[in-house]
Structure 1
Amino acid sequence: MKTYVKSFLFITILSVLLIGCSSDDSSNESGSNDGGDEGSGEVTLSLYSTVTNESDQAAMESVIKKFEEEHSDINIDYNFPAGEYESQLRVKMAANDMPDLFDTHGWAKNRYGEYTMDLSDMDWVENLDPSLETIFTDEEGKVYAYPINQAKDGLTYNKNILDEYGVEPPETFDEFMTALETIKEESDGEVTPFWFAGSEFGAFGQYFDQFATPLLITHPDHDYSEELLDGSFDWEPYTFLPEKLLEMQEKELLNVDALTAQVHEQTQLFAQGKIAFVMATVPINAVQELNPDTELGVMPVPAIHEGGEQSWIGGERHTMAVWKDSEHPEEAKAFIEFISQPDIVKELAEGTALPAGLTNASADIYYQPYYDEYSDVMVEPYFDRVFLPSGMWEPMGTAGQELLSGSLDPEGVSEKMKDEYTRLLEQEASE
């Protein structure tokens, strides 16, 4: 019995000593550092991007994986919140707790400027496309973000369908409506003339935002830019856009599930020849993987007023900024330096089917012949980025959802826009 007790005490004491040594060793050799292992030198960077379609996301994921393979001590926790991006970033801005790397999606200076690190000391800056200089830099020389690509937005169309039914890419809004009606009739309703992934309010935001430029800005007899900038615009002329969108729905020119359709459905429907037009630039790679015979084209936004001209809507598209208070600024800048290499610039431009933001690489862009065809068409900035207070994107898009669901009539859409416009202007003035 005494032998048993002695053995038990010996084992107990030994176990305590071993546990104590194990705990000491653990505390000395490893620890938490923002998701990284301090002992192994790992750092985890948070990254938020607005990329939504599968091809764009695949391109970003591929580049992130390559970076992590080359920089084994840096991990990237990436997020693609799609329609929730702006609301999530607003919460993070309010808490002053931004991602290490984030997409400024058109607001590099006006919305996110105070949160971005100055990148002017980086080598890639000398290759910044001159057309983007005023967007990404200020008079003091600060560079707010890195341009992954640049936008020339208008309409994407299924060239096979337009050719089959003898429809020319429309130059005016009236011609656009005629084209939609022709496609509906000639296809016996088998092809959706104008398709929306309206489960995300941004789909309708694109329609209102891009068509607002020829409606309210570019025609000299219908230029409301001063009124929009000084806050005196009364919004009655805007009613044309919701009226036409509702007319499209009533004439069955939109997809019947316009309020519930999701972005990922677009690729397959284009490959199946079920869509004629969308208000977005569609990555061709994913479509042709499903159907190599599919040909897509892009065109500027049609003119609205008689004597008006078409417009590309463009500027900043996907970007990467560094949060000025990031705990890992050098690692975050290392990622941007990595994606500024010519081969990665080319990969991202081709993967997103958009022109690169740097001049150090030549990308084989599927839509380049169309950009060349319309090279004389002016590129206008996004309407909301210049003429609307911050925060208008969401009400602009949700108003479209409410219109097609019957919650608002066209006049109600304009009234909602007026109320939100006034509220946000007053909010900006009080800050």
Structure 2
Amino acid sequence: MVKGLKVGAAVLIALSLLSGCGSNDSSGGSGDSAGSGKVELQFLQYKPEARDTFDKLIAKFEQANPNIHVIQDNPPDASTALMTKAASGQLPDVIANGGDNVHASLVQSGVLADLSSDPNLQKVSDVYVKILHDISGSDKTYGIPYGVNANGVIYNKALFKEMNLTIPQTWDEFIALCKKIQDAGKLPFYFSFKDAWTSQPAFNALAASTQGSDFYKRHSEGKTTYTSEYKEAADKLLQLVTFGQKDSFGKGYNDANVAFAKGESVMYAQGVWAIAEIKKANPSIELGIFPYPATNDPSKNKLISGVDQLLSISASTEHPNEAKKFVEFLLDPANAKEYVKGVNTFSAVKGVTQDDPSVSDLAPYFDKGQIADFVDHYTPSNMKLDQLLQELIMKKDVAGFLKNMDDEWSKAESRK
């Protein structure tokens, strides 16, 4: 899951002032690589699990383009590092970050190149291009979707088979499934609310499928509120968490990955990003993942999928042609396939599939475009949605939670 940060007004002002300045200088910008005559491209990407895969792709690119040297930067807190570089006029030539409010802030500050007419956009799914437009609030395109992720219910296939369970298609079937597992003396879900962000995956799915059409647009225009449209999602989250272990606030994300891998629960409320960690704890586990059946109308139940990795170019790069060549290389179907295989994610590039059998249940939703973005991609981080959800789960006060959501949204808007 992409966990972004909202840039404060002061940083946005700094970005605006610096957006017209050259982003490269002798202290860390692009230039000749060690006097070799090669063009040097700075490439910042934010996913630590993608570093090795990008290293391999960069080596392949440099072999085909010996006059270009790509330097990968993958700092620990990449979103903060990216904004600091942007604010100081040192934006890397090529950026691979998430489709979230950090991207929106960069777009609004004018530091990214406009890629609206880039022919490479024809290679990617229109669904994810639209998601980036919705996030940035712009009808222009400043990043090309690359890797995409998915949020759902991970389940233990062996236990499903042993207990004669089937994947639910509706909310009522989902709750009946949880009760059947519970009645059999097993734990339906293992939760990890010690890490506040882990309260968000289930809520993202429940809200996205129940909040009504065009909620983000109507909400930004002041035509609706969380109170009027998020009660169903909040009620259903509280119902779902009753099927977890008693000490759900005493366990963190890593604890839950290991517990699920050991078979301590039949299901796990996470996303595809957890699969690799689960398999590290139990390489032989056979698992799958299905979208949350958030409503009793299967046609309204969306797969929650967002832009996990997008490719942008600095508006002030000294090497736009080389930067575009690197982006085009990454978007080549063969290279995009290598990326999704290495990072265990999905691709926004048309025709590039993820062949891991553990995610096969999600394929029909991608094929039909029955997809919605993560709710928290549209929520300013200074609202602290994760903490509000923790409070909701502990206090079970839905009305208070919804009021807090509306109040915190108003505060976040007033800070812009």
Same fold (TM over 0.5): yes
2:385 counterpart (387, 392, 396):
396
Map 1:139-288 to 2 at 5 A: 143-189=141-187, 193-196=189-192, 199=195, 201-217=196-212, 228-237=219-228, 238-246=230-238, 249=241, 251=242, 253-254=244-245, 256=247, 258=249, 261-262=252-253, 268-275=258-265, 276-282=267-273, 284=275, 287-288=278-279
Gaps of 5+ in 2: 1-25
* 1-structure distance, mates of 2:80, 2:45: 12
Look up the equivalent residue of 2:412 and give its one-letter code: L
* 2-structure distance, mates of 1:271, 1:314: 24
Look up the equivalent residue of 1:395 and give its one-letter code: K
Listed one character per residue, the Cα deviations across residues 27-69 of structure 1 (whole Å, up to 9, x for unaligned) are xxxx8654985424573614132x36x4x55544543454466
Look up the equivalent residue of 1:102 and give its one-letter code: A
* 2-structure distance, mates of 1:133, 1:224: 18
* 2-structure distance, mates of 1:225, 1:134: 13
Map 1:117-136 to 2 at 5 A: 117-119=113-115, 124-135=120-131
CA pair 270-332 structure 1, distance change in 2 beyond 3 A: farther
Identity %: 22
What is the CA distance between 1:148 and its match in structure 2?
1.7
* 2-structure distance, mates of 1:33, 1:272: 46
1:314 counterpart (302, 305, 313):
305
* 1-structure distance, mates of 2:140, 2:225: 36
* 2-structure distance, mates of 1:202, 1:59: 26
**Does the 8 A contact of 1:109 with 1:135 survive in 2?**
no
The residue that corresponds to 1:3 in the other structure is none
1:79 counterpart (74, 80, 85):
74
CA pair 247-58 structure 1, distance change in 2 beyond 3 A: farther
What is the CA distance between 1:214 and its match in structure 2?
2.5
Listed one character per residue, the Cα deviations across residues 135-171 of structure 1 (whole Å, up to 9, x for unaligned) are 4679x99542232223454333222222222332233
1:325 counterpart (313, 316, 326):
316
* 1-structure distance, mates of 2:59, 2:248: 36
**Does the 8 A contact of 2:279 with 2:285 survive in 1?**
yes
Report the more deviating stretch, 95-104 or 295-304.
Answer: 95-104
* 2-structure distance, mates of 1:85, 1:393: 18
CA pair 33-291 structure 1, distance change in 2 beyond 3 A: closer
* 2-structure distance, mates of 1:329, 1:198: 45
1:351 equivalent in alignment to 2:345: no
What is the CA distance between 1:332 and its match in structure 2?
3.6
CA pair 334-226 structure 1, distance change in 2 beyond 3 A: closer
What is the CA distance between 1:366 and its match in structure 2?
3.1
CA pair 230-33 structure 1, distance change in 2 beyond 3 A: closer
Look up the equivalent residue of 1:399 and give its one-letter code: L
**Does the 8 A contact of 2:289 with 2:358 survive in 1?**
yes
1:413 equivalent in alignment to 2:409: no
RMSD: 4.2
**Does the 8 A contact of 2:206 with 2:236 survive in 1?**
no
Query: 2:288 aligns to what SS in structure 1?
Result: strand
The residue that corresponds to 1:115 in the other structure is 111
What is the CA distance between 1:421 and its match in structure 2?
1.4
The residue that corresponds to 1:28 in the other structure is none
What is the CA distance between 1:321 and its match in structure 2?
1.2
CA pair 143-422 structure 1, distance change in 2 beyond 3 A: closer
Listed one character per residue, the Cα deviations across residues 214-241 of structure 1 (whole Å, up to 9, x for unaligned) are 23215xxxx9677524325343353454
Look up the equivalent residue of 2:405 and give its one-letter code: M
The residue that corresponds to 2:372 in the other structure is 380
Query: 2:200 aligns to what SS in structure 1?
Result: helix
* 2-structure distance, mates of 1:130, 1:307: 23
* 2-structure distance, mates of 1:409, 1:123: 50
**Does the 8 A contact of 2:61 with 2:326 survive in 1?**
yes
* 2-structure distance, mates of 1:132, 1:348: 17
* 1-structure distance, mates of 2:369, 2:349: 22
The residue that corresponds to 1:336 in the other structure is 327
The residue that corresponds to 2:8 in the other structure is none
Query: 1:167 aligns to what SS in structure 2?
Result: coil
Query: 2:403 aligns to what SS in structure 1?
Result: helix
TM-score, structure 2 as length reference: 0.72
What is the CA distance between 1:305 and its match in structure 2?
6.1
* 2-structure distance, mates of 1:93, 1:408: 41
The residue that corresponds to 1:103 in the other structure is 97
Gaps of 5+ in 1: 1-30
TM-score, structure 1 as length reference: 0.69
CA pair 283-206 structure 1, distance change in 2 beyond 3 A: closer
**Does the 8 A contact of 1:310 with 1:377 survive in 2?**
no
**Does the 8 A contact of 2:145 with 2:310 survive in 1?**
yes
Query: 1:45 aligns to what SS in structure 2?
Result: strand
* 1-structure distance, mates of 2:161, 2:247: 24
Look up the equivalent residue of 1:419 and give its one-letter code: D
CA pair 40-208 structure 1, distance change in 2 beyond 3 A: same
**Does the 8 A contact of 1:32 with 1:38 survive in 2?**
no
Look up the equivalent residue of 2:112 and give its one-letter code: T
**Does the 8 A contact of 1:239 with 1:410 survive in 2?**
yes
**Does the 8 A contact of 2:258 with 2:278 survive in 1?**
yes
What is the CA distance between 1:322 and its match in structure 2?
1.7
The residue that corresponds to 2:12 in the other structure is none
What is the CA distance between 1:283 and its match in structure 2?
6.5
Report the more deviating stretch, 310-319 or 68-77.
Answer: 68-77
What is the CA distance between 1:107 and its match in structure 2?
5.6
